[in-house]
Amino acid sequence: MAKIKPTKGHLYARILGVGGYRPTRVVPNEVILETIDSSDEWIRSRSGIETRHWANDEETVAAMSIEASGKAIADAGITAEQIGAVVVATVSHFKQTPAVATEIADKLGTRKAAAFDISAGCAGFGYGLTLAKGLVVEGSAEYVLVIGVERLSDLTDLEDRATAFLFGDGAGAVVVGPSAEPAIGPTVWGSEGDKSDTIRQTVPWTDYRDGEVAKFPAITQEGQAVFRWAVFEMAKVAKEALDAAGVSPGELDVFIPHQANERIIDSMVKTLKLPESVTVARDVRTTGNTSAASIPLAMERLLATGEAKSGDTALVIGFGAGLVYAATVVTLP
């Protein structure tokens, strides 16, 4: 019986670079109020959102991803040819096949990198980061590009008062590569499929195709149920991720939760008893909820503005449709 020789992987992996892309069109709450009965004060008080970005025809899922990825690759100090795998987290690429990751890998100039999409909603970036770490440590790729990208404006029902104001578009990307020391902690992740109806697509694509419904499918949610779940259950998951990494709340520098809702973020900060010294991402105010893109976009902005710095210890947690979640502690690039 032949023995398979050990792979030449790396002991540890880390995020080496980050990049983001926000569409050029900025959409204030006033535009949303043209189609729902609400107010700017109500939207801000319920979500913290003031503006969001919506993509134009040229700002496709692939185009936004390529822009963000180019920045991340440059930030990591490598070339596209060194990327061994491209992982794209998205729920808004409307071609069932091929994966948009293959187009991105080609247009970036990788050397036939492995490329695939994953669908894990707002936890998609965390899932992709976990896979990337495994690929680097196992030795299947030296450098992995992880992209979170969404065009949620395509899946927004502008007459749905519960969700019309929430969603935005954009792309965030990171490069994961070898590290001399631990820099991506163990991932605490999972799913609760019994709660899948709380965030969902209104109808299957086939219902629209077959004429059973006239309205294009959109994302809808049960706001209060999602809020309770995120605040109480995800705070527990975040604490588990800190414990798994051996990091106490007092040792944390930065908290980057999924940018779903500022009230959820505030409640998690309170429940986790994070000290005031911890920088908390609040990108949701001007970017809205960009699902899989929200964590890398928020990370990129914190580093760009100087609110966070290279080497900081950050807790990241994504959670959403499924219901799915993923949390881990990372060292910022």
Strands in 324-331's sheet, in edge-to-edge order, are: 188-191, 324-331, 313-320, 254-257, 279-280
Q: What residues does 52 pair with on adjacent strands?
A: 27
Q: DSSP assignment of 65-93, as one string?
A: HHHHHHHHHHHHT--GGGEEEEEEE-S--
> What are the structure tokens assigned to 64, written together?
């936004």
The one catalytic residue among 53, 93, 122, 261:
122
Peptide bond into 98 cis (omega under 30): yes
The one catalytic residue among 53, 93, 258, 261:
258
Rg, the chain, Cα only:
19
The one catalytic residue among 29, 53, 261, 289:
289
* Segments in the chain forming alpha helices (H): 29-32, 40-47, 61-76, 100-108, 124-138, 205-209, 223-228, 234-245, 262-272, 284-287, 294-305
As a dihedral over the C-alpha atoms of residue 88, residue 92, residue 98, residue 100, rounded to 10 degrees, the angle is -40
Alpha-carbon distances, residue 226 vs 154, 168, 189, 195, 258 (angstroms)? 22, 18, 17, 9, 13
Does 258 qualify as catalytic in the annotation?
yes
Amino acid 174 reads: V
Among residues 198, 310, 295, 167, the alpha carbon closest in space to that of 238 is found at 295
As a dihedral over the C-alpha atoms of residue 161, residue 232, residue 187, residue 171, rounded to 10 degrees, the angle is 20
SS3 at position 148: strand
> What are the structure tokens assigned to 260, written together?
């779903």
Does 53 qualify as catalytic in the annotation?
no
Catalytic (active-site) positions: 122, 258, 289
